[in-house]
């Protein structure tokens, strides 16, 4: 199994990004009674950031043999 040397560091970067995005204080910015396309802002943000992380992980992992 050949691995790009950057896969590990990239995934750690995703982890760090996620730790920041989905925690206080960034999370506190979105605790407002507003709605995006009918969905509460906090809810929309949390799921959006979550999806972003999954997308990044998929990209990093699937491009490792490139």
Partner 1 sequence: MLQGWVIVLVSFAYLGVLFAIAAHGDRRAEAGRSIIANPYIYALSLAVYCTTWTFYGSVGRAASTGIGFLPVYLGPTLMAALWWYVMRKIIRITKAQRITSIADFVASRYGKSQLLGGLVTVIAVVGVVPYVALQLKAISNSLSILLDYPALVMPASAAEVPVVGDSALWVAILLAAFAVLFGTRHLDATERHEGLVAAIAFESLVKLVAFLAVGAFVTFGVYQGFGDLFRRAAEVPRLEALMTVPAGGGFGTWASVTLLSMLAILFLPRQFQVAVVENVDEDHLAKATWLFPLYLLLINVFVLPLALGGLLRFAGLGVDADFFVLALPMVERQEALALLAYLGGLSAGTGMVIVETIALSTMVCNDLVMPVLLRLRWAGLHQRPDLSGLLIVIRRLAIATIMLLAFVYFRVAGEAYALVAIGLISFAAVAQFAPAILGGLYWRAATRAGAAAGLTAGFAVWAYTLLLPSFARSGWLPQSFLTEGPLGLWLLRPQELFGLSGLDAIPHGVLWSMLANVGMYVGVSLAGRPSYQETTQAALFVDVFRHTQGLERTPRTVGSATAATLLPVVGRFLGPERAREAFQAYARRRGAASPEDLAADAGLVQFAEAQLAGAIGGASARVVVASVVQEEPPGLDEVMDILDEASQVRAYSKELEQKSRQLEAATAGLRAANERLQELDRLKDDFMSTVTHELRTPLTSIRAFSEILLDDPRTHLAERTRFLSIIVKETERLTRLINQMLDMAKIESGNAEWRAAVLDLGEVIEASVEATGQLFRERGVALSLELPGPAPRVRADRDRLMQVLINLLSNAVKFCEPGRGRVVVRLAAEGGGARVDVRDNGPGIRRADQEVIFEKFRQVGDADGGKPRGTGLGLPISRRIVEHFGGRLWVESEPGQGATFSFQLPVEPAPAAG
Closest approach, Cβ 66 to partner 1, in A, equals 13
For 51, the token pair is 């999806």
Cβ(4)–Cβ(66) below 8 Å: yes
Q: Which residues pair with 51 in a beta bridge?
A: none
Q: Residue 65 CB, nearest distance to partner 1 (Å)?
A: 10
Residues 5-44 that bind partner 1 (CB under 8 A): 7-8, 11-12, 14-15, 18-19, 22-24, 27-28, 31-33, 35, 37-43
- Is the Cβ of residue 37 or residue 66 nearer to partner 1 in the bound state? 37
CA-to-CA distance for 7 and 15, rounded, in angstroms?
12
């Amino acid at each position: 199994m050949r691995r790009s040397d950057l896969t590990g560091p990239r995934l750690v970067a995703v982890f760090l990004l996620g730790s920041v995005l989905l925690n206080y204080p960034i999370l506190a910015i979105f605790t407002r009674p507003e709605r995006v396309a009918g969905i509460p802002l906090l809810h929309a943000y949390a799921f959006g950031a979550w999806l972003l992380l999954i997308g990044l992980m998929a990209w990093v992992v699937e491009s490792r043999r490139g």
